[in-house]
């Protein structure tokens, strides 16, 4: 009899627990510790195989610039590489914005190599960064500047992971346009179709008035 009562009591407790669980409002769960890790953000791919696939070798994403094939040691070839972008004033403004975010901390907003990290020798960097506005580095072409941002140079590391190819070209164009107090900005935009002055329409000669017939009666 005692064993039977124990079984009945256990069954009653289990039933009560199940009933309480069924009555829980699942739409209002309890508090989560670090919910951003418990509930992951939606992802485009749900197949593990597809989500880990790399793009097909040799392909280029729509709207993306062609890959840069020069190696780090090809500095001489980089000097002759032309900027593939058709630049506008908006592109130069974007290049300036990106430069001030990623480059000015070392090279300074005036491109004089006196950014906050150097600060006239009072900053944490004891060696002055390159002066991009005047001096030897000011003669760098846009291709060479792009190359340096891609692979780094001396103490400067690569920025290829922070800036895509189009952004690096815009920064290179801005650096060139800034030189000589902006005197080279016109040269940077010289091949921009939006800056071209439309040709004046050809002036056609007015037709000569017909000769008056002297025999006509007045």
Nearest partner of 79 among 148, 144, 132, 135, judged by Cα? 144
List pLDDT tens digits, range 95-116: 999 999 999 999 999 898 999 9
Structure tokens at 125: 């960097």
Query: Mean pLDDT for the chain?
Result: 76
pLDDT for the residue numbered 197: 33
Structure tokens at 21: 């669980």
Q: How confident is the model at residue 37 (pLDDT cuts 50, 70, 90)?
A: low
% of the chain exceeding 70 in pLDDT: 64
Range among 11-15, 25-29, 46-50, 200-204 rated most confident? 11-15
Distances in whole angstroms, Cα of residue 182 to Cα of each of 92, 100, 178, 186, 213: 11, 16, 4, 8, 66
pLDDT exceeds cutoff 70 at 28: no
pLDDT exceeds cutoff 70 at 153: yes
């Amino acid at each position: 009899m005692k064993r039977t009562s124990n079984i009945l009591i256990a069954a009653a407790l289990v039933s009560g627990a199940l009933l309480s669980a069924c009555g829980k409002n699942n739409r209002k769960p309890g508090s989560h510790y670090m919910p951003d890790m418990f509930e992951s953000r939606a992802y485009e791919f749900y197949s593990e195989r597809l989500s880990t696939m790399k793009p097909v070798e040799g392909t280029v994403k729509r709207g993306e610039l062609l890959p840069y094939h020069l190696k780090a040691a090809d500095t001489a070839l980089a000097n002759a590489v032309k900027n593939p972008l058709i630049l506008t004033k908006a592109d130069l403004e974007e290049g300036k914005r990106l430069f001030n975010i990623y480059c000015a901390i070392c090279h300074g907003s005036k491109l004089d190599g006196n950014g906050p990290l150097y600060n006239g020798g009072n900053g944490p960097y004891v060696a002055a960064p390159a002066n991009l506005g005047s001096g030897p580095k000011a003669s760098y072409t846009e291709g060479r500047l792009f190359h340096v941002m891609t692979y780094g140079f001396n103490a400067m590391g690569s920025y290829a992971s922070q800036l895509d190819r189009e952004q690096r070209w815009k920064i290179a164009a801005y650096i060139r346009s800034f030189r000589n107090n902006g005197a080279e900005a016109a040269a940077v935009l010289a091949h921009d179709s939006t800056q071209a002055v439309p040709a004046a329409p050809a002036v056609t000669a007015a037709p000569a008035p017909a000769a008056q017939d002297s025999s006509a009666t007045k």
